[in-house]
């Protein structure tokens, strides 16, 4: 048999020592262990070794408890965990746990994360409450462990208290902020309802009626007109405002304030996002912060003015200085506000800017007849509304059927002359003598057939607006007479020697190139500059194809109102209409829609009928690659023409190196020598 292992001297107890039973032997062993300190601290000297009790030394439980205590002091947590688990199991299963078992379980508490500290604290207090339960050495160690537990529990309670206070404070701040925002929104809603509740109700009822008429369904096929479309048709589209600021909290607050005033708001956090959103959102007003990363508010203002001249921009800043305000104003900023932004001051600036941009409350119906969602058309309308408030003469050019007269009427309705007459005349529709009489009037007997005096259109439009349509076809003799009328604001009727003063705003339009007519001597240069104070070029329908489904729905609704016959297009037919070529522009599209409604024998107009109306040769929308190549070829040709075929100079203008520029020329089959000969 192998020799029996002798335990360390510090673990020995005598059989005659107090507590000779197993329980008291364990207590004595703990006393001896604490007293000797041979395994726990380098500065404590070992005590003399008593005689070992074999029964106690062979006790597995006692060895585990003593090893637990050793691991506790040495900090060996991984070994301690298993022993604590065993002690916990013994404690839970023992009918009457001994004080040694309680003590061993408690002593493992500080290093074992799974230990129930309040329970261990209670056990320790229970043991220390009875003077006879613990020996002096045990009491000292137990007091040390109890102090550690108390400190840990106190610190944990304090942390929980502080965390709870922080959470409560955050919740209170959020609640206060939400309460203020909700109160502000409720106040805005109350004021808005008080100002225009009945009017808003009637407007919503009209919009719903229009939407129901425009969204006719048949076998799952329909042409849908959105809410924005209906707003465009009735001339009551919401003003679009783009907010730009790198502070999300301020963006949210301004968005709530502006949407409470029924504005359509989009918020972004950088200038780059603002430029991207502007192409899609087409704002009527931009409100931007001055100090931002990468591109600041002044840089954004410059870029917006380059891309969309006339777009109103209000600049916000928390660091407002006089030089900043002067620079922003010189760059074309509409307003300059400092943070924190006063609500009423902001709303006043917004209303003032939008009133100039075309969204005044008094003349919101000025563009009611123009149906569009095209970005290019919106630019023309904004330009038209800016000039409408003045008496400046306007020259409108564009292809036939593109809506020149509709724009002239819109300018008249948006002007201070809106309550006076709007008179239009086509200068190419009558002979020269008859045109002179029609414009300037005549006296009785001034020519054969003049049986009575005639006032003329200038006098008929006195105080209002006169549209001279197709001014490019006016005879040269009448151009001279018209020039004098524009210079002196007086007319002389045919056959009269008296001059009659007139107060007329003249708007002219033509589909011809007046500068080319001037070069060949068919149009007077001085008259051209008299008429062309403000020039607006109407885009053709091929340049605003996004308006085609909108116009089709508008024409179908008109026909249904006139005749009571309601028809819709098949999806393939709408696609064909949107991709077809329209040399006659909107007038041709309206004619095709009326023809299709008249000839269709079913409620759904098929694609074959549309193709037949278009002559059987429908146009095709170019692919992205084809459109990109066409643009690149046109751009390269233009830049080579500007530089006279000088590749180095052309590459510098295009900001490309010469090698890449030569590759582009070769790819698009362009030769610089061809441009040098021009």
Point out which residues pair with 227 in neighbouring strands. none
* C-alpha radius of gyration, the chain, whole number: 46
C-alpha angle with apex 137: 136 to 141, nearest 5 degrees? 115
**For range 162-174, the mean pLDDT:** 75
Q: Which two tokens stand for residue 384?
A: 């038209």
Among the four given CATH numbers 3.40.50.1000, 2.102.10.10, 3.40.50.2300, 3.20.20.220, the one describing domain 237-357: 3.40.50.2300
Its sign, for the CA torsion 346, 348, 354, 356, is negative
Closest CA to 351 of 370, 338, 365, 334: 334
Q: Which two tokens stand for residue 252?
A: 């949210």
Whats the size of the chain, residue-wise?
678
422-426, strands of its sheet edge to edge: 422-426, 465-469, 505-510, 394-397, 534-537
Among the four given CATH numbers 3.40.50.2300, 3.40.50.1260, 3.40.50.300, 1.10.10.10, the one describing domain 375-538: 3.40.50.300
Is pLDDT larger for residue 416 or for residue 364? Answer: 416
- 237-357 and 375-538: same fold? yes
pLDDT band for position 188 (cuts 50, 70, 90):
low
Residue 226 confidence (pLDDT): 41
| CB atoms near residue 165 (< 10 Å) | 10
pLDDT band for position 404 (cuts 50, 70, 90):
very high
The tens digit of pLDDT for each residue in 545-585 reads: 889 999 999 999 999 999 888 899 988 888 889 888 899 99
Cα–Cα dist 586/577, whole Å: 12
CA-to-CA dists, residue 540 to 218, 400, 555, 657, angstroms: 32, 9, 18, 36
Q: Residue 403 in contact with residue 586, Cβ under 8 Å?
A: yes
Residue 629 confidence (pLDDT): 85
User: What phi and psi, each to the nearest 5 degrees, are found at residue 122?
Assistant: -65, -40
pLDDT of 598 > 80? The answer is yes
pLDDT of 671 > 50? The answer is yes
pLDDT of 610 > 80? The answer is yes
Q: Residue 578 in contact with residue 620, Cβ under 8 Å?
A: no
Percent of the chain with pLDDT over 70: 70
Closest CA to 236 of 212, 266, 207: 207
Pick the range with the lowest mean pLDDT from 22-31, 428-437, 599-608, 631-640: 22-31
Helix, strand or coil, per DSSP, at residue 535? strand
pLDDT band for position 540 (cuts 50, 70, 90):
very high
Pick the range with the lowest mean pLDDT from 18-27, 274-283, 313-322: 18-27
Q: Which two tokens stand for residue 253?
A: 């607050």
pLDDT of 356 > 60? The answer is yes
Is pLDDT larger for residue 262 or for residue 539? Answer: 539
Sorted by sequence, the CB contacts under 8 Å of residue 388 that are 6+ apart come out as: 366, 410, 411, 412, 413, 414, 415
**For range 275-292, the mean pLDDT:** 84
Single pTM value for the model: 0.52
pLDDT of 677 > 60? The answer is no
Cα–Cα dist 622/628, whole Å: 10
Cα–Cα dist 336/642, whole Å: 40
pLDDT band for position 82 (cuts 50, 70, 90):
low
pLDDT of 652 > 60? The answer is yes
Q: Which two tokens stand for residue 568?
A: 């819709």
Average pLDDT, the chain: 75
Cα–Cα dist 368/361, whole Å: 14
The tens digit of pLDDT for each residue in 466-484 reads: 999 999 999 998 999 999 9
User: What phi and psi, each to the nearest 5 degrees, are found at residue 287?
Assistant: -115, 115
pLDDT of 599 > 50? The answer is yes
Q: Residue 29 in contact with residue 11, Cβ under 8 Å?
A: yes
Pick the range with the lowest mean pLDDT from 12-26, 124-138, 349-363, 512-526: 12-26
Domain residue limits, the chain: 9-150, 237-357, 375-538, 624-676
pLDDT band for position 133 (cuts 50, 70, 90):
low
């Amino acid at each position: 048999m192998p020799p029996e292992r002798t335990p360390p001297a510090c673990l020995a107890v005598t059989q005659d020592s107090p507590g000779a039973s197993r329980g008291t032997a364990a207590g004595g062993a703990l006393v001896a262990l604490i007293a000797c300190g041979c395994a726990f601290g380098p500065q404590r000297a070992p005590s003399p070794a008593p005689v070992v009790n074999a029964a106690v030394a062979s006790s597995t439980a006692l060895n585990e408890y003593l090893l637990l205590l050793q691991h506790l002091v040495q900090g060996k947590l991984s070994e301690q965990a298993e022993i604590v688990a065993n002690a916990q199991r013994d404690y839970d299963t023992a009918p009457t746990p001994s004080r040694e078992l309680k003590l061993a379980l408690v002593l493992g508490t500080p290093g074992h994360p799974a230990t129930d500290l309040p329970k261990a604290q209670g056990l320790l207090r229970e043991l220390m409450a009875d003077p006879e339960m613990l020996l002096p050495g045990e009491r000292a160690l137990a007091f040390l462990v109890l102090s550690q537990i108390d400190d840990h529990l106190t610190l944990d309670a304090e942390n929980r208290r502080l965390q709870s206070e922080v959470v409560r404070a955050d919740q209170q701040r959020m609640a206060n902020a939400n309460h203020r925002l909700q109160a502000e929104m409720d106040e805005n809603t109350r004021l808005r309802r008080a100002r225009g509740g009945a009017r808003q109700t009637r407007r919503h009822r009209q919009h719903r009626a229009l939407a129901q008429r425009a969204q006719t369904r048949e076998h799952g096929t329909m042409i849908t007109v959105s809410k924005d479309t209906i707003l465009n048709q009735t001339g009551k589209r919401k003003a679009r405002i783009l907010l730009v600021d790198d502070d999300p909290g301020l963006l949210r607050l301004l968005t709530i304030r502006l949407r409470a005033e029924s504005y359509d708001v989009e918020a972004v956090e950088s200038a780059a996002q603002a430029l991207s959103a502007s192409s899609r959102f087409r704002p009527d007003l931009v409100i931007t912060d001055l100090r931002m990363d990468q591109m600041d508010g002044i840089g954004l203002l410059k870029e917006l003015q380059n891309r969309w001249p006339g777009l109103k921009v209000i600049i916000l800043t928390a660091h407002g200085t006089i030089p900043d305000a002067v620079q922003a104003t010189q760059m074309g900023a509409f307003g300059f506000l400092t943070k924190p932004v006063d609500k009423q001051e902001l709303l006043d600036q917004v209303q003032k800017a939008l009133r100039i941009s075309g969204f005044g409350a008094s003349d919101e119906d000025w563009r009611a007849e123009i149906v569009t969602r095209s970005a290019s058309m919106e630019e023309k309308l904004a330009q038209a509304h800016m000039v409408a408030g003045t008496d400046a003469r306007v020259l409108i050019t564009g292809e036939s059927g593109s809506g020149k007269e509709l724009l002239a009427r819109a300018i008249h309705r948006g002007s201070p002359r809106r309550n006076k007459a709007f008179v239009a005349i086509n200068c190419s529709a009558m002979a020269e003598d008859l045109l002179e009489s029609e414009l300037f009037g005549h006296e009785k007997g001034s020519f054969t057939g003049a049986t009575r005096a005639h006032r003329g259109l200038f006098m008929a439009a006195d105080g209002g607006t006169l549209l001279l349509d197709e001014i490019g076809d006016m005879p040269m003799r009448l151009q001279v007479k018209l020039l004098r009328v524009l210079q002196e604001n007086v007319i002389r009727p045919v056959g009269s020697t008296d001059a009659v003063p007139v107060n007329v705003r003249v708007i002219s339009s033509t589909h011809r190139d007046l500068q080319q007519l001037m070069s060949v001597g068919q149009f007077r240069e001085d008259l051209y500059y008299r008429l062309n104070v403000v020039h607006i070029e109407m885009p053709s329908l091929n340049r605003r194809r996004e308006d085609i489904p909108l116009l089709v729905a508008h024409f179908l609704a008109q026909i249904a109102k006139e005749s009571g016959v309601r028809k819709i297009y098949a999806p393939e037919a709408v696609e064909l209409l949107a991709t077809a070529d329209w040399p006659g522009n909107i007038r041709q599209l309206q004619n095709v829609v009326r023809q299709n409604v008249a000839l269709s024998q079913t409620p759904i107009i098929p694609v074959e009928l549309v193709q037949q109306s278009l002559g059987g040769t429908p146009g095709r929308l170019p692919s992205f690659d084809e459109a990109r190549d066409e643009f690149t070829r046109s751009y390269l040709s233009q830049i080579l023409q500007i530089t006279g075929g000088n590749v180095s100079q052309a590459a510098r203008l295009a900001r490309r190196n010469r090698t890449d520029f030569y590759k582009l020329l070769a790819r698009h089959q362009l030769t610089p020598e061809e441009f040098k000969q021009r």
